Amino acid sequence: MKIEALDIRKYFGPVRANDGITLTVEPGSIHGLLGENGAGKTTLMKILTGFISADGGETRLDGRPVRFASPAESIRHGIGMLHQEPLDFPPLKVLDNLLLAFEDRLIPGRQQVRRVLEELCRRFNFSIDPDARVNTLTVGERQQLEILRLLALGAEVIILDEPTTGISAPQKVLLFATLRRLAKEEGKSVIFVSHKLEEVEELCDRVTVLRQGKVTGHIEAPFRAEQLVQLMFGQSLLRSDRSRVPLGEPALELQDVTVQTYRLTVSHMSLAVRAGEVIGLAGLEGSGQRLMLRACAGLQRPSSGRVRLQGDDFTRRSYRDFLAAGVAYLPAGRIEEGLIRGLTLTEHYVLTQRGHQPLFIDWVGAAEGMQHKIAEFNIRGQSGTPVEALSGGNQQRALLSLLPPVLKVLAMEHPTRGLDIESAMWVWEQLLERRKSGTAILFISADLDELMEHSDRIIVFSGGVMASPIDAAATSIEELGYLIGGVRDNS
Amino acid sequence: MLQRLSNLTLGLVPVVLALLFTTVILIIVGAPPGEAYRNILQGALESPDKWASVVTAMVPLLLCSAGLLVTFAAGLWNIGVEGQIVAGALLATWLALNLTLPPILFIPLLLVAGLIGGALWGLLAGLLRVYGGVHEIFGGVGLNFIAIVLTNYLIFGPWKPADGATMSGTDPFPPAAWLPRLGDLPVYPTAVVLALAAVALMYFALRGTTWGLKLKAIGKNQRSAFLMGIPTSRYMLGAFLVCGALAGLAGSIQAIGVRQRLIPGVSGGYGFLALLVVLLAGYRPLWVIPIALFFAAVGVGSPRLELSMQLDSALGGTLEGIIVLFVLLAQGVKRKA
Ligand SMILES: Nc1ncnc2c1ncn2[C@@H]1O[C@H](COP(=O)(O)OP(=O)(O)OP(=O)(O)O)[C@@H](O)[C@H]1O
Ligand SMILES: [Mg+2]
Q: Look at chain B and count its residues.
A: 337
Beta carbons of A444 and A293 less than 8 angstroms apart:
yes
Q: Is residue A244 part of a domain?
A: no
Q: Give CB contacts under 8 A, 24+ apart, made by B275-283.
A: B275/B68, B275/B79, B275/B81, B276/B320, B276/B321, B276/B324, B277/B61, B277/B65, B278/B65, B278/B68, B278/B69, B278/B72, B279/B324, B279/B327, B279/B328, B280/B323, B280/B324, B280/B327, B281/B65, B282/B331, B283/B69, B283/B72, B283/B73
**Top-level class of domain B32-310:** mainly alpha
Same domain, A309 and A416: yes
With a CB cutoff of 8 Å and minimum separation 6, the contacts of B98 are none
Beta carbons of A487 and A318 less than 8 angstroms apart:
no
d(CA A14, CA A2): 32
Domain boundary among A233, A261, A282: A233
Domain boundary among A233, A264, A297: A233
pLDDT band of residue A280 (cuts 50, 70, 90) is very high
- The region that residue A244 occupies, defined by phi over 0 for left and psi between -120 and 50 for alpha, beta otherwise, is beta
Same domain, A257 and A229: no
Same domain, A73 and A112: yes
Same domain, A205 and A333: no
Q: What is the CATH number of the domain that holds A451?
A: 3.40.50.300
Q: What is the ipTM of this complex?
A: 0.87
> What are the sequence ranges of the domains in chain B?
32-310
Sheet with strand A250-260: strands edge to edge: A265-274, A250-260, A304-309, A312-313
Integer CA distances (angstroms), A305 to A255, A270, A296, A347, B130, in order:
6, 9, 12, 39, 29
Nearest CA in chain B to A356: B210
Which site among B3, B211, B223, B228 would you substitute to test the A interface, given the most A Cβ atoms closer than 10 Å to its Cβ?
B228
Q: Is residue A460 part of a domain?
A: yes
Same domain, A173 and A269: no
A→B contacts (Cβ < 8 Å), by residue, are 299, 319-320, 323, 329, 331, 336-343, 347, 350-352, 354, 357-361, 363
pLDDT band of residue A439 (cuts 50, 70, 90) is very high
d(CA A447, CA A60): 37
Same domain, A378 and A255: yes
Give the tens place of pLDDT for each residue, B184-242.
Answer: 899 999 999 999 999 999 999 999 999 999 999 999 999 999 999 999 999 999 999 99
Output the pLDDT for position A88: 55
Residue-wise over A398-432: b if at least 16 C-beta within 10 A, else e? Answer: bbbbbbeeebbbbbbbbbbbbbbbbbbbbbbeebb
Out of A320, A343, A359, closest to residue B211 by CB:
A359
- Total number of domains in chain A: 2
pLDDT band of residue B2 (cuts 50, 70, 90) is very low
Q: Which atom belonging to ligand 1 lies closest to the Cα atom of A385?
A: 4
Name the pairing type of β-strands A457-462 and A470-471. Answer: antiparallel
Interchain contact, A350 vs B217, CB within 8 Å: no
d(CA B280, CA B272): 13
Give the tens place of pLDDT for each residue, A410-434.
Answer: 999 999 887 777 888 888 988 988 9
Q: Write the DSSP string, B25-62.
A: HHHHTT--HHHHHHHHHHHHHSSHHHHHHHHHHHHHHH
Interchain contact, B226 vs A358, CB within 8 Å: no
Q: What are phi and psi of A471, to 5 degrees?
A: -75, 120
Output the pLDDT for position A86: 59
Name the pairing type of β-strands A465-466 and A470-471. Answer: unpaired
Output the pLDDT for position A489: 39
pLDDT band of residue A239 (cuts 50, 70, 90) is low
What domain range is A154 assigned to?
3-233
Domain boundary among A169, A200, A233: A233
**Among B21, B92, B85, B83, which Cα is nearest to B59's?**
B85
Q: Is residue A277 part of a domain?
A: yes
Chain-centroid distance of CA B5 in Å reads 31
With a CB cutoff of 8 Å and minimum separation 6, the contacts of B34 are none
Nearest CA in chain B to A362: B208
With a CB cutoff of 8 Å and minimum separation 6, the contacts of A386 are A341, A342, A343, A344
Give the tens place of pLDDT for each residue, B246-298.
Answer: 999 999 999 999 989 999 989 989 999 999 999 888 899 999 999 999 999 98
Q: Is residue A490 part of a domain?
A: no
Statement: residue B5 has pLDDT above 60? no
Average pLDDT score over residue span B58-65: 97
Q: Is residue A240 part of a domain?
A: no
d(CA B48, CA A38): 63
Output the pLDDT for position A198: 83
Average pLDDT score over residue span A449-454: 89
Same domain, A289 and A223: no
pLDDT mean across residues, chain A: 87
pTM: 0.78
